[in-house]
Amino acid sequence: MKSTASLSLPILFLLAVVSSAQAYDFFYFVLQWPGSYCDTKQSCCYPTSGKPAADFGIHGLWPNNNDGSYPSNCDPRTSFDKSKIQGLLSSLQSNWPTLACPSNDGTNFWAHEWEKHGTCAESVFNEYSYFKTALDFKSSLNLLQSLQSAGIQPDGGHYSLKSIKDAIEQGTGYAPYIECNADESGNSQLYQVYLCVDSSGSQLIECPIFPRGKCNSQIEFPMF
Ligand code: AMP
Ligand code: AMP
């Protein structure tokens, strides 16, 4: 076999391009319950456009590997450019709301998600299609509706983790991973829902691997 030293520069360049184009195996599509971001010790700030709807918001679409590792901040040359997503801004405000403090219009959150995660999937997405794809997945999912159909409401009550997983699987066709966090009193609560998307960003798939972390067997679904 030839040693790397004897490969010509154009071939090394080609290898670099090919390997960067396949630097992940699938995406996590992560949705967040705003009530669980806001009722923590840290609290939250509503965006300048006002209090978001009582619905799941998008956190991000994250390239991931089957071994659990993931690439991040892959291309500093394509930093976030708001002008490229002008046509999506009102939908982003409604469906991908920032809750960080101090109160802001969401640009920081979207820029962070594009630069940390989106730039690692530039073989399938440009900035516009990255955000558009996430918005389209969210509207096709109707996560809150799936839960409510199973009698699971954001009413501050406690529900079994299994009933929540089953309701989402029933509604979407795919088994979710549920991430919990703790409210101000330390109760385990429904914070984020992870579903998986194939590496071309076109359809939901069963997750090849779930993140680590644990919820209580009964978790709170706080109001927002
Ligand atoms: P990531 O870096 O994409 O894994 O996301 C984690 C970061 O996103 C942390 O800095 C969080 O504080 C931040 N974050 C999570 N949810 C929100 C939100 N709704 N608005 C603003 N920042 C958020
Ligand atoms: P465990 O209680 O960790 O042994 O998990 C029992 C089953 O529930 C396994 O199939 C896990 O993959 C699944 N499971 C545990 N925690 C979660 C979670 N937060 N979200 C989705 N599935 C989970």
Identify whether 3 is part of a domain.
no
State how far the Cα of 192 lies from the Cα of 127, in Å rounded to an integer: 23
C-beta separation of 97 from 59 below 8 A? no
d(CA 140, CA 172): 9
176 domain-assigned = yes
Residue 144: phi and psi, rounded to 5, are -60, -40
pLDDT at 106: 98
User: β-strand 57-64 against 158-160: which pairing, if any?
Assistant: unpaired
Considering every ligand atom, which ligand is closest to the CA of 111? 1
Counting the structural domains of the chain, the total is 1
pLDDT of residue 14: 56
Q: How far is the CA of 180 from the centre of ligand 1 (A)?
A: 14
- Write out the chain in H/E/C secondary structure: CCCHHHCCHHHHHHHHHHHHHCCCCEEEEEEECHHHHHCCCCCCCCCCCCCCCCCCEEEEEEEECCCCCCCCCCCHHHCCCHHHHHHHHHHHHHHCCCCCCCCCCCHHHHHHHHHHCHHHHCCCCCHHHHHHHHHHHHHHHCHHHHHHHCCCCCCCCEEEHHHHHHHHHHHHCCCCEEEEEECCCCCEEEEEEEEEEECCCCCEECCCCCCCCCCCCEEECCCC
- In this structure, the number of other CB atoms found within 10 A of the CB of residue 64 comes to 24
Q: What are phi and psi of 78, to 5 degrees?
A: -115, 60
| pLDDT at position 8 | 67
Tokens (6 digits) for 41: 């010790």
Q: Is 210 in the pocket of ligand 2 (CB under 6 A)?
A: yes
The model's pLDDT over 82-107, given as tens digits with 9 standing for 90+, comes to: 999 999 999 999 999 999 999 999 99
Query: How confident is the model at residue 6, as a pLDDT?
Result: 59
Q: Is residue 10 part of a domain?
A: no
d(CA 102, CA 72): 25
Q: For residue 205, what are the β-bridge partners?
A: 196
The answer as to whether 83 is a domain residue is: yes
Which residues surround ligand 1 with Cβ inside 6 Å?
32, 37, 59-60, 98-100, 109, 113, 116-117
Set 113, 115, 179, 220: catalytic member: 113
CATH label of the domain that carries residue 157: 3.90.730.10
- Domain carrying residue 54: 25-220
Tell me, yes or no, whether 143 lies in a domain. Answer: yes
Quick check: is 112 catalytic? no
| Annotated catalytic residue, options 115, 117, 179, 220 | 117
Q: Which residues of the chain have pLDDT under 70?
A: 1-22
User: Who's near 193: CB < 8 A, 6+ residues apart?
Assistant: 30, 31, 32, 33, 56, 143, 168, 176, 177, 178, 179
- The pLDDT, as a whole number, for residue 213 is 87
Give yes or no: 59 in active site.
Answer: yes
Q: Is residue 4 part of a domain?
A: no
pLDDT 10s digits, 124-159: 999 999 999 999 999 999 999 999 999 999 999 999
